[in-house]
Amino acid sequence: MRGFFAVAGRRLSYLDFGGPGTPVLALHGHYNEASAWAPLAEALAPQWRVIALDQRGHGESDRAESYERDDYVADVAAFHQHLGVGPVALLGHSLGGVNAYQYAARHADQVTALIVEDIGAVVEVDWVFTTKLTRHAPSREALASASGAMAPYLERSFRQTEDGWGLSFDIEDTVASQQALDGDHWEDWESVSSPTLLIRGTRSDGLTAAHAREMIARHTGQASLVELPTGHVVHQDAPVEFAAAVRAFLGSS
């Protein structure tokens, strides 16, 4: 089920995958949207009910004037409040991972468990790569072809327009968001008190093995690391193994 709510005059969208299970809030990464969590939602049901946000500037949510850290965290707080589900498990990939652990750090009483997928406490994004993405093509097939190896990760964000196919996110907005994501976020990471699972892709350029282990060492509460033989988008490269790791962690938290 798709839902909407308003924050400061903007409309944000989300997907509630439904079911009787305990809610898990999910936050996607750049270039993506809430629908990216559909396979995980199916794998976790019926014990867990995944509810995923289209973050500002992504999917069916409105574009915004600002993509700073505090903006994203405020959106997560508004999303959580809108749902009215009480303290909850929170999962995020990349951009969503930082948003998740910053929300968990600043709203400790609202997060029962935290899952962070392939992002560090210090972030350096290659935003120049974003400017090279194909913005428009005459057909879905042509857009996929032009996207090359990125196509499997972008396809949920493909949108048909009046004159062809494009992306559901704006390139300039994404660059601004990536630039704002860069930086040292150790203070927030070290402030997280909820049980935490960090999932890393061993072939990812986004999180090194050394940095992941330092994150576990510097976490002030219960934290564990799972490494899978994937790239940056672990939940897509190894969906079965990713879901198993998430399920095991949530079941023990």
Tokens of 76: 């997560």
Give the pairing of strands 88-93 and 22-27: parallel
Residue 159 dihedral angles phi and psi, to the nearest 5°: -135, 140
pLDDT at 253: 73
Contact in structure between 144 and 164 (CB atoms under 8 Å): no
- Superfamily grouping for domain 2-123+171-252: Alpha/Beta hydrolase fold, catalytic domain (3.40.50.1820)
Task: Judge whether 217 and 191 are in contact, CB under 8 Å.
Answer: no
pLDDT at position 143, please? 96
- What's this model's pTM, rounded to 2 decimal places? 0.96
Of 188, 183, 180, 176, the closest CA to residue 103 belongs to: 188
- Residue extents of the structural domains in the chain: 2-123+171-252
Residues of the chain with pLDDT under 50: none
Q: What is the dihedral of CA 228, 229, 235, 239, to 10 degrees?
A: -90
pLDDT digits (tens, 9 = 90+) for 59-109: 999 999 999 999 999 999 999 999 999 999 999 999 999 999 999 999 999
Check residue 76 and give its pLDDT. Answer: 98
Token match 């999303």: residue? 79
